[in-house]
Structure 1
Amino acid sequence: LQNIMMTRFALFREDVRDLTELTVGRSDSYLIVNTLKLGFIVTIYYNFDRTDGGEDDRTFSEDQVNALFTMTLLTSFFWFLVSIWMIMHAKVVAQSLSTKMLLQTMRIPFPSTTDIIHSVKNAEQFETDLEQAFRFPVLSDLFRPARRAEQESSVIRQPTGISSSTNGISPFHRQQSGPVNSQGQAEANLETGVQSFSISVLDLLYGGAFRGTAKEELETMQGREPHLKLFRLIRSQWSAYDLYGQIAMQIGSAQLLSGLAYFSLYYLRDISNDQGFRVPVSGWFAFAFLELTAWWSLVLDVSLGLGGHLLLALLMLGSPMCLFFHSGASYFHVGDEILPILFAVQASWVLLLCWASVTCPGRWPRLWKASQYVDVLHREDCPYEDTDDVPRSHRRSSFFQSGNLESDSSDVSSSEFGEPASSFADAQFAATPLLDSLDAVLQLKLPRKLELKLARVRKHLYAAARTAGAFRAGVLSFRPVVVDGFWLKLDGFRGMGDAWVDPSRGNGSSHERGERTEVTVEDLCQAAEKMAETLWKSANTWTTSDMQHLAEYGGEPVHGISDFVGQFHKDGALFVGGRRYYLGGVVITTILWIAALVWSFSVGRTVIHAGALHKPAAPLRVLQTVQGTPANTTHNNNNKNKNNNNNNEAAVGSPLKIELSLPWLAPVALGCDGGDQIVLADTAAGAFVGSLSNSSKGWLGPFSACGDADTAASDFGPGGQLWMACPDSLRPASSAEQWAGGPSRESGRTSVISGIQALALDPLPLTGTPLGGLALRHGKLVGLSQSLGLKGEWKMLGTMSVPSGLEATAVALYAGRGLILDAGGSVFELDTASGQWLGPWSMPTGFTWQGICALPPAQSPNQSAGGWLALGRPVAAMETQLGQRAPRAQLWRFGRPVDKPLEL
């Protein structure tokens, strides 16, 4: 017997180790996987070579996609890090509490010296009892069935645990409880088997049928083993960290796959295509595979219906659809204004997953399937909170002073008489027969709505009964309880009459139609809900009976869950901290994504507000013919402008008497500051600055910022800062302080914008608009924006749409008014505030016009609005006609009459 008892308690200790391993074992795997994924993200995101020159400057659409996969990968990194922290915390708490439980409360109860002495006395008394010493084995009780039944009944009722030496009660001297049934009933049980106990459905629903016997048998019929109940209650100290750590890992995995999808889309794009963000077919295949994999991983992890999965798929695939429409902008007639929607759609499903896991206190996030595996023994819908432990209401010294330990399980029940299953004892006995009654009712043909209601109530009662151990208590009972048949009233349902329900013999059994025992569906549901509430309350409360039964394991008594775990925390249960920790992570994620959304939409508004950016060009509006003739009307055979027809106006202009005193100077670009200074850019020599009003000052320069590389263009920015377009970047001039009479200027930051062919910076930018410059890059007109401060670097806003057939060679910008010079010698005007195009105006033929500069009204001819300077080179035919060699390059001033306002 002692070996059996030792083996039994050794198995109890093994139970605790197995249950702890569910957390500790899988946490080891989670930590390894999360650490590898963190390293993978770092390797991908920071994979660069120090000697690498870096990427070319990015367009607006490329910036949007780059920021999108950056945010997605960083979100994944954050949640993997949170998962590691929470899982490590859960592992430490689980190991600590399980070790404390094994060492303090679950010791193998070896017999004490007192127990051995008592056993010797029992053997001595047996030797002095002649009747027992010389009895015939087996045959002595053959003709005494009643006594044998009583002895067997007593053996069945004998508790299986042995006490600790702490309470002084020997397991060999426990008083055996007498039989509940009479001697005749015991004989009947012996001859015919166990006889069932029949009650009416009203006694079942409203209690009272089991009082008087339930308390006597409750100690023997302990529903749940006390060590399992104690473990389940202390598991609340780490279960939230374990669960939310798994949820964080699953969110991070989905974000990692989605981030890799956008990462592959960005790095497989067609870099040589300047028409926008273009991705080859291979890039779309890689993106689709990774994004569908991310969605499929969530299908396996979240518990949603068909509609929920379709909504999740729609949100996850919404961003790629927006990007696909943008890549086919010329076909779908969409522009860069659709790109900020990428952030909105991507952020929607990310934040939806995060916030859907934030539940009210006392509830698990049922959205995630991981919540179904918190407790492997039964379904757990909510975490167990520290309730008022019954033993704490008693004096702790009474546990050691009193040898008669009475059960206090009645303390957890309601004191009101007449309520459905008002006591825990009634609920323990009545759970199984009430479930049988509900099963019999569900076999009827009921309306769908009513059937779902009954099924939900039965499911809740079944989970509560399993948790409280009511099924085990029913098995240990002497007499199985069966419910008599009853009438179920269904008068309130159309076409339904009263139905006969017999849980024990079946609904089709015969019945008397005289006395009617009637109940309603509402009565059954109310009784089941009340009974489930009582069972849940008892299962989640540490009672004096639990303390007494656990003390028989040979360890210290546990007076309360809060006392047991109190050394590990100060205020509140640890599981509350786990939920709040996850909530803090969700708040951080939300703030970061909102900031990214604000940035995306602000940049998007910047691009759209720049006028005509990413929009089809507005129809050209032709002004009335300007009176006058150009300075030279020689026909230009090299006119390439398709819009330069007979309807084009002729711009009135005259050459400036500015001598280019450097005969070797071959300027290719012109710029001005809107005042008196102009700058000429030479490809090889650099930039030279001169004065319009006082040409005797000569030319200052050369100014250089490109080193040995060629200078493509140069212009004055805000504050008079001189910027030069180099092959790989836009740089400030290195010797700007040498200008005579100029203000003290500091060099700005180098802007990585390559491939600039022509440059125009606005010396007087409009307020409220980020557009600060125009440039020709790879033959495309792009908008430029300068960061805050005069030394701020320049960035591209995006590609601008131009009138069809326009082949731009030079640009100018002043106070938001842009001028674009066509290869055929025509000038177009763009109002950047409204996006309206005007023109074209034809300039004199016989010249190859290379540069243009916008003038303020005060410096235009006759103070006309919209004047400009132009840099032209005479063609060979003109030199022959004039009979003398003309200068290699000339500056012309053009204007329009002031009585004709601009049509905006």
Structure 2
Amino acid sequence: MFDVPLRQAREFQVQNVNLARFALFREDIRDLAALTTDKVANLLVVNTLKAMRTWALYFNFDRTDSGFQERTYQEDQLAVLLGMTLLTSFFFLMTSIWFAMHALQLAQAITTKLLVQVVRIPMPSENEIAKASTEGKDFELNFREALRLPFVRPAALNKDTLRDQMKDVGRQLPQLAEEVNREDSRLSNDTRAASPAAAPSPTDSKGTPLLQTTRPMNLEVSMQELLHCLPPHAAGAFSEMEPHLKLLCLVASAWQPFDLYSRVTTVLGSSCLFSGLAYFSLYYNKFDVDGSSSMPTEAWCSFLFMSTLAWWNLTIEISGSKLDLFVAALLILVGPTLWVASNKPTLHASVMQHFGYPVLVTIQASWICFLGIRAFTCGGEWPHFFTSTRYLNVVHKQRGPIEIPVDIARKVHEDEDTSTESSVNFKDSQHAMALAQPLIDVLSCIGDLPQSSSSRAAVFQARDWLREAARAAGVLRTSLMVKGFWIYLPMTGLDNEGAVPHWVDIHSIDFPSLGSSATEAFMLPELLQAADLAAETLHAQAVHWTVHDMLRLASYGGEPVTGVNSFLFQFENISERMRTFVPSADYLFKVAMGLVSLFWIMVWVWSIMAATELFRKVSLSGTMQPFALDTPWRTVTSFGCTLEGEHYVVTDSVVVQILSEEGNVWLQFGACDGAPILAVDFGQQGEVVATCERGIQATWLSGAKVQDQFWVSNISNLQDVSVDRSPLQDTYHLDAIAISGTRLLGLRYHPDSTWQEVGILNVPPHKGLFTAVAVRMGRAAWLEVPR
């Protein structure tokens, strides 16, 4: 009995390792759940601060303010863009907060249920502890052991003696034998998986399991056997994922969509916030220049900087192609660029400001809708346009949301004849799991051989797809080794014609001497087809909860889980009416994008209506005023009117006529001392101003008669003149503009009733000749004809 302490120490060591191992299982669940809980907790804090800032910017109101003054059309459009962009940002940030709170709540509740009910630490029972102690009767009943001299053993042990010794070990350590039979490779140094198809443990003649202490040798199979018919002893030559990880990956589908879209809406809300800050800086800085609508340079710098930052925020979050990044940058930056280019830089009237705001609204709404549409989950795949989809599942690469499989008990209840189908599917999955890793190694070796670029791309694509499927199914490693074989690789395209044979041996670098005598040869499409079929089988196996998974997880000591639906049933709505409609995160995000698009369409319609109304106001409109000179052969060469439009002044270069509002001749007189009259208009005080060859002459009227007439300026040869009689208080206001050859002259009226030239106006480059000019409210327009 001297070896009793050794056996006890071994048994207790097994129990301690089991405790530590299952403690690691529980730690796995906490770590994987923390990927969501920690991230969304940070998003809650950051997005709450952003939403508060957005709310403060939009409702930036002080009770001591005098309120909004009457705003121009341009200021109204700018305020609408500012408000709508900030409200869109606030909408996305609040949606992100709601998604993050829901994901956090689901992740914490489900992981706590896993830890409390399923993944438990298997504490050793009193019977298991008692089995570690040796009783005296076991020693007394074995006469041969009682008379054996210590430390003296036979030179060679026959099979019966070894079986008897292993029988004693099996009787003393039944729990350890059960652990070995349960495929724990880390405890027993056995790399084979414990599956229903695995080879049974060796037993003696009485059925007592014998303890395996040797590591199984690697199994070498041919490529033909690997692809079509594996030998029976190779069925369990692989290791599987732990069942608690598989269950966690399945139940994580309840919160992963909310986790993803909380991040997506954060990106959209942040970009809209930066864009709104750009319009904010433009709107509020315009009041910093003496109350005028002129824009300071710092306002435009802030506007361009924040607009660029709105695009820069997306560069890290977008994982699309270069074309996607270019389209996003174009839609975000083209609007601000057009606006800056169209202003000089003021908010005065221009074609872009009057009629380009619907274009700006369209561009602003386009990039928001473009990013939102690219975030839709379509065809069962995540929106890989955003980098957040890469970090949802760290166990394996997940292309889309997992559809929760039907429970095991429900399968049997719904379809009673599923035993044969399940058996066939089980054999296919076992075959796919066994050939996955060897086939990945073979494809990696084939990819390095000389072949066409399209063929190499197809090989690497099939290898990567199979590798991700193996990770998803939990095929960690295998003990199968593939013998060398020949493969025909195309040198141009994927056509098998002209294919060149190559030797493939994943365990040898140099060309082996036996390669020349090898008889197995394969075409590349055959291997690619096998890889695709195995990948599909493994992907299907990864999302199915089987009886084998249930039994393995039940060995942890917790409650058996018959399926994901039954596990999550307590978190569902028990109302039959509500159970028919359970909105998903993707559905809620699509509804949110629909609401945002609807709001922007309403703003766009309002912008179109406002631009149309403005165009109607500034367009030429009026009624025909028929009047004719008393001499039909004379032609009107100049025309003017009072500010109220009650009287008109016309000339035919000979006489000046004053017409009433009805078109009747009210007064007729001569001017310029008989010289040709070049142009006429009403002056600042209601006098008639006529330009002549020698200067400007003013005629004062009273009671439909000429009261006085004298020269007020010696500026000669003015082809046309227009007097601005609007009541403007600007110090630098021009009272009149006149045409002198190829120049536009600015004139100013002095209190002594004289006119003086102020200077020459700078106009854009032109190629025509000035023919007429008009000025009202400080804005001038002229006509020109080609030379």
TM-score, with normalisation over the residues of structure 2? Answer: 0.69
Residue 482 of structure 2 aligns to a residue whose secondary structure is strand
Structure 1 position 443 matched with structure 2 position 461: no
CA distance in 2, matches of 1:372, 1:425: 29
Moved more, 4-13 or 564-573: 564-573
| CA displacement, residues 498-524 of structure 1 (integer Å, 9 cap, x when unaligned) | 333222213744454455433222222
**1:482 corresponds to:** 482
Relative to structure 1, the CA distance from residue 295 to residue 116 in structure 2 (aligned partners, 3 Å threshold; closer, same or farther) is: same
Structure 1 position 344 matched with structure 2 position 362: yes
2:302 alignment partner, one of 272, 277, 286: 286
CA distance in 2, matches of 1:604, 1:31: 41
| Residue correspondence of structure 1 range 371-382 to structure 2 within 5 A | 371-382=389-400
Q: State the 1:369 CA deviation.
A: 0.9
**1:225 corresponds to:** 242
Residue 268 of structure 1 aligns to a residue whose secondary structure is helix
CA contact (8 A) 1:68 1:262 kept: yes
CA contact (8 A) 1:413 1:534 kept: no
Residue 224 of structure 2 aligns to a residue whose secondary structure is helix
**1:327 corresponds to:** 343
| Residue correspondence of structure 1 range 341-490 to structure 2 within 5 A | 341-360=359-378, 362-394=380-412, 411=422, 414=425, 423-472=428-477, 474=478, 479-490=479-490
CA distance in 2, matches of 1:31, 1:532: 38
**Unpaired segments ≥5 residues, structure 2:** 1-13, 171-175, 186-193, 204-211, 621-635, 640-649, 659-666, 672-679, 706-724, 736-742, 750-754, 757-770, 778-787
Relative to structure 1, the CA distance from residue 517 to residue 47 in structure 2 (aligned partners, 3 Å threshold; closer, same or farther) is: same
CA contact (8 A) 1:157 1:176 kept: no
2:260 alignment partner, one of 243, 255, 258: 243
Residue 386 of structure 1 aligns to a residue whose secondary structure is coil
Structure 1 position 9 matched with structure 2 position 26: no
1:100 alignment partner, one of 109, 113, 120: 113
Relative to structure 1, the CA distance from residue 128 to residue 444 in structure 2 (aligned partners, 3 Å threshold; closer, same or farther) is: same
Q: State the 1:628 CA deviation.
A: 7.6
CA distance in 1, matches of 2:278, 2:157: 83
Relative to structure 1, the CA distance from residue 141 to residue 444 in structure 2 (aligned partners, 3 Å threshold; closer, same or farther) is: farther
Structure 1 position 260 matched with structure 2 position 277: yes
CA distance in 1, matches of 2:382, 2:731: 57
CA distance in 2, matches of 1:326, 1:145: 101
* Count of residues in Structure 1 that have an aligned counterpart in Structure 2: 633
Q: State the 1:246 CA deviation.
A: 1.1
Q: State the 1:284 CA deviation.
A: 2.2
State the AA in 2 paired with 1:440: C
Relative to structure 1, the CA distance from residue 361 to residue 96 in structure 2 (aligned partners, 3 Å threshold; closer, same or farther) is: farther
| Residue correspondence of structure 1 range 790-805 to structure 2 within 5 A | none
CA distance in 2, matches of 1:598, 1:338: 13
1:52 alignment partner, one of 52, 65, 69: 65
**2:502 corresponds to:** 499
Q: State the 1:313 CA deviation.
A: 1.5
1:307 alignment partner, one of 323, 335, 355: 323
Residue 258 of structure 2 aligns to a residue whose secondary structure is helix
Q: State the 1:288 CA deviation.
A: 2.5
Residue 476 of structure 2 aligns to a residue whose secondary structure is helix
CA contact (8 A) 2:250 2:543 kept: yes
State the AA in 2 paired with 1:484: G
CA distance in 2, matches of 1:305, 1:541: 34
Q: State the 1:324 CA deviation.
A: 0.8
**2:41 corresponds to:** 28
| CA displacement, residues 358-410 of structure 1 (integer Å, 9 cap, x when unaligned) | 122521111111111111222111111112333543589xxxxxxxxxxx998
Q: State the 1:440 CA deviation.
A: 0.6
Residue 519 of structure 1 aligns to a residue whose secondary structure is strand
2:50 alignment partner, one of 27, 37, 43: 37
Residue 230 of structure 2 aligns to a residue whose secondary structure is coil
Structure 1 position 200 matched with structure 2 position 222: yes
| CA displacement, residues 534-561 of structure 1 (integer Å, 9 cap, x when unaligned) | 1111111110011111111111111111
State the AA in 2 paired with 1:44: L
CA distance in 2, matches of 1:529, 1:35: 46
Q: State the 1:304 CA deviation.
A: 2.2
Identical positions, percent = 30
**2:188 corresponds to:** none
Q: Which structure has more helix as a fraction of its residues? A: 2
CA distance in 2, matches of 1:391, 1:508: 54
Q: State the 1:112 CA deviation.
A: 3.9
2:554 alignment partner, one of 545, 551, 554: 551
Residue 96 of structure 2 aligns to a residue whose secondary structure is helix
Residue 123 of structure 2 aligns to a residue whose secondary structure is coil
CA distance in 1, matches of 2:224, 2:199: 33
CA contact (8 A) 2:681 2:689 kept: no
State the AA in 2 paired with 1:607: L
| Residue correspondence of structure 1 range 714-753 to structure 2 within 5 A | none
Residue 301 of structure 1 aligns to a residue whose secondary structure is coil
State the AA in 2 paired with 1:487: I
CA distance in 1, matches of 2:730, 2:278: 32
CA distance in 1, matches of 2:88, 2:597: 10
CA contact (8 A) 1:237 1:574 kept: no
Residue 487 of structure 2 aligns to a residue whose secondary structure is strand
Relative to structure 1, the CA distance from residue 515 to residue 5 in structure 2 (aligned partners, 3 Å threshold; closer, same or farther) is: closer
**1:589 corresponds to:** 596
CA contact (8 A) 1:127 1:133 kept: yes
**1:209 corresponds to:** 230
Relative to structure 1, the CA distance from residue 93 to residue 116 in structure 2 (aligned partners, 3 Å threshold; closer, same or farther) is: same
Q: State the 1:199 CA deviation.
A: 2.4
State the AA in 2 paired with 1:381: R
Q: State the 1:484 CA deviation.
A: 2.3
Relative to structure 1, the CA distance from residue 98 to residue 512 in structure 2 (aligned partners, 3 Å threshold; closer, same or farther) is: closer
Relative to structure 1, the CA distance from residue 412 to residue 257 in structure 2 (aligned partners, 3 Å threshold; closer, same or farther) is: farther
| CA displacement, residues 72-119 of structure 1 (integer Å, 9 cap, x when unaligned) | 111110011001111101111111111111121122222345656766
Q: State the 1:482 CA deviation.
A: 2.1
Moved more, 115-124 or 588-597: 115-124
CA contact (8 A) 1:210 1:425 kept: no
CA contact (8 A) 1:268 1:279 kept: yes
Moved more, 326-335 or 17-26: 326-335
CA distance in 2, matches of 1:574, 1:94: 22
Residue 36 of structure 2 aligns to a residue whose secondary structure is helix
Residue 316 of structure 2 aligns to a residue whose secondary structure is helix
Relative to structure 1, the CA distance from residue 114 to residue 65 in structure 2 (aligned partners, 3 Å threshold; closer, same or farther) is: same
2:200 alignment partner, one of 172, 177, 186: 177
State the AA in 2 paired with 1:502: D
Structure 1 position 317 matched with structure 2 position 333: yes
CA distance in 1, matches of 2:231, 2:409: 25
Relative to structure 1, the CA distance from residue 103 to residue 194 in structure 2 (aligned partners, 3 Å threshold; closer, same or farther) is: closer
CA contact (8 A) 1:757 1:778 kept: no
CA contact (8 A) 2:139 2:146 kept: yes
Q: State the 1:567 CA deviation.
A: 1.9
CA contact (8 A) 2:551 2:560 kept: yes
CA distance in 2, matches of 1:515, 1:637: 109
CA distance in 1, matches of 2:245, 2:63: 59
CA contact (8 A) 2:89 2:268 kept: yes
Structure 1 position 610 matched with structure 2 position 632: no
Q: State the 1:495 CA deviation.
A: 7.2
Relative to structure 1, the CA distance from residue 586 to residue 806 in structure 2 (aligned partners, 3 Å threshold; closer, same or farther) is: farther
CA contact (8 A) 2:486 2:522 kept: yes
**Unpaired segments ≥5 residues, structure 1:** 163-170, 181-188, 397-407, 416-421, 614-619, 658-712, 714-755, 759-774, 782-802, 810-822, 825-837, 843-848, 851-904
